[in-house]
Amino acid sequence: MLETESGSSRGVLVVEDDEQLQTALTKILSQHGYEVTIARDGYEGLEHVERDTPWLVLTDLSLPGKGGMEFLREVRTQGYHMPVVVMTAYGGVDVAVEALKYGATDFLQKPFAFDRLEKIIQQLDEDRNEIGLETNDNQAKPPIGEPREGFLTRDPKVLQTLKMLDMVAGSSATILIQGESGTGKEVLARHIHRKSTRAHQPFVAINCAALPEGLLESELFGYEKGAFTGALTRRAGKFEQAHHGTLLLDEIGEMSLGLQAKLLRVLQEREVDRLGSRQPIPVDVRVIVTTNRNLAQEVQAGRFREDVYYRLSVMPFTLPPLRDRPEDIQLLAEHFSHRSFRRNQRSWNGISDEAMMYLKRRPWRGNVRELENVIERGVLFADNGQLKLEHFQFDEPELVSNSTAAPSGTIWEMERDLILRTLEKHNGNRTHAARTLGISIRTLRNKLREYRELNGGIPLGV
C-alpha cells in the first residue's frame, strides 16, 4: 500500500448530510480497505481537504450551507486535484455537465447501485497505478505559478484543445503551441508531458530567446572537453538530458536560421552531435515548441526555415489571449487571489462583483502573467479577505471614488458595453449572461436599472 505524508493513500472523504447514506458509504468503502472521513457540508469538507488531503472525494451537490457545486469549485480553485465524484438526486445531463465543467471526475445519479460506485473507484485506482503515480504526488497542491495537474480553464475552445491534446499526448509527435506572451504555453506543455507515457521521465525546458546563438547551441547539443575555450569538462546538452522524456523549446521563433538547420537534423535523425565530437548520440525525445510569433508569417518573411516549420507543426495548437476567455479570467483570478491570501496567512472571501467586472473588461495585454501580478498587488491592499474594486487603485487610481457619485464616463461606458455585449451574445438570457460575467443575477438587474436611469432609458431590449 502506498503511503502519503498525511496518512494512507486509501483515504476517502464523503461530503454528505444524509446519515443513512453516510453509514452505507462508510460500510462499503471500509469493507474495501478505504479509510473514510465524513463531512456534513461544504465548509467541513474544505477543512478535511486542507487538513487530510484525501485520495478521493465523494460529495453530494445538495448540501446545507456551502453547496456541493460551490465546494467543488473551491477545491479546484485552491489547487487540489484529487478525483471528485459528485452525487445528486436532482437534475440530469445539464447538472452533470455543469459539475464536470467545474472539475468533477465523475457523476452519480441518486439512487445509485453501489457496484456502480465500486467500478468508478476501481477505475480510478487502476488509472493511478497504471501511470505509476504515488498518491502523495497525485494529491500535491500546485507549485506557485502552475497547476500541479492539468491546465486551469473553463473556456470552451481551450477545453476542446485540451481534449485533442489528450488524444495525442501519448504519441511522440512534435507539438507546436502558438499564442501571445503570458497565455500559459509552458503550463500547457507541462500538462501534455504529464498526460504522456513519458510522464516519469525528464521534462527539460530552454528559452531560445534568452541565450545568444553560440551559447544556445552548446546548451542544446552539449560539448566535449576542450571543444572551445572554457570547455573544461564534457557536458550533455538539453536533448540528452531529456532522453526518454520531453524537451520544451520555448520561443522557437527567436532561433537563428543557422541553428534551425542543426535542429532540423536532430528532429529528422533523432541523434545529436556534441560540439567537438565525431560520434553522434541517439536521443529519444518528445519535442514541444512554443512561440508568440506567427511562424507561417515568419516563413513568408524569410525569418524562419520552411522545412523546420513543417517539421515542427505536426500538431499545431493556438492558445487564445486571456481577453477572449472571460470565464478563465474569473477562474484564474479566484485561483491566484486565494493562493495569495493563503500565502499571506489571511482568510479568503472571494472577489466582489464590481471587482470581477473590472477584471473582465481589462484588455490583459500581458495575459495570465499580468492578471497574476495585478491580483498579487490587489491582495496587498485588501484587509478583510475579499478583493474589492478599490484594491486595484494601484492600477487605475480613478476607480476609487464615492460610490454614490455618478459613474465616470470611461469606466461606466466600458462596464455598460461589456454587459450589453454579453447579453446580446446570450440572446438576452440574464442568467447565462450573469454566469459569464461572474456576477449574480441580482447585480446584473441592478446594473441594467442603473443604465436606464443614468443614461436616459437605454433601449436594452431585454
- 11-63: per-residue pLDDT in tens? 899 999 888 898 889 888 888 888 899 999 888 888 888 888 888 999 998 88
Rounded CA separation 335/340 (Å): 9
Residue 393 has pLDDT above 60, yes or no: yes
For the stretch 25-32, contacts whose Cβ atoms lie closer than 8 Å and that sit 24 or more positions apart, written own/partner, are 25/58, 25/117, 28/114, 28/117, 28/118, 32/118, 32/121
Give the pLDDT mean for 386-413. Answer: 59
Choose from 47-51, 84-88, 263-267, 382-386 the range with maximum mean pLDDT: 263-267
Beta strands in 1-155 (DSSP E): 3-4, 7-8, 11-15, 35-39, 56-60, 84-88, 106-109
Span(s) in the chain for CATH 1.10.8.60: 323-421+433-447
Contact status, residue 146 vs residue 187, Cβ threshold 8 Å: yes
Output helix, strand, coil percentages for the chain, rounded to the nearest 5: 50, 15, 40
In the chain, the percentage of residues whose pLDDT exceeds 90 is 18
pLDDT reported for residue 4 = 32
Span(s) in the chain for CATH 3.40.50.300: 156-318
Length of the chain: 462
Q: Does domain 323-421+433-447 have CATH number 1.10.8.60?
A: yes
Residue 134 has pLDDT above 50, yes or no: no
pLDDT reported for residue 162 = 85
To which CATH superfamily is domain 3-139 assigned? Response regulator (3.40.50.2300)
pLDDT digits (tens, 9 = 90+) for 335-367: 888 888 877 777 888 888 888 888 988 889 889
pLDDT reported for residue 14 = 93
pLDDT reported for residue 276 = 75
Band (169; pLDDT cuts 50, 70, 90): confident
Band (247; pLDDT cuts 50, 70, 90): very high
Residue 112 has pLDDT above 70, yes or no: yes
Residue 306 has pLDDT above 90, yes or no: yes
Residue 147 has pLDDT above 60, yes or no: no
Choose from 77-86, 108-117, 200-209 the range with maximum mean pLDDT: 200-209
Contact status, residue 104 vs residue 85, Cβ threshold 8 Å: yes
Contact status, residue 368 vs residue 183, Cβ threshold 8 Å: yes
Residue 178 has pLDDT above 90, yes or no: yes
Span(s) in the chain for CATH 3.40.50.2300: 3-139
The pTM of this model reads: 0.56
Contact status, residue 435 vs residue 422, Cβ threshold 8 Å: no
Give the pLDDT mean for 136-165. Answer: 61
Rounded CA separation 179/187 (Å): 12
In the chain, the percentage of residues whose pLDDT exceeds 70 is 81
What is the phi/psi pair of residue 188, to 5°?
-65, -40
Domain 156-318 fold: Rossmann fold (3.40.50)
Residue 218 has pLDDT above 60, yes or no: yes
For the stretch 102-108, contacts whose Cβ atoms lie closer than 8 Å and that sit 24 or more positions apart, written own/partner, are 102/69, 102/72, 102/73, 102/76, 103/72, 103/73, 103/75, 103/76, 104/72
Band (111; pLDDT cuts 50, 70, 90): confident
Residue 91 has pLDDT above 70, yes or no: no
pLDDT reported for residue 96 = 67
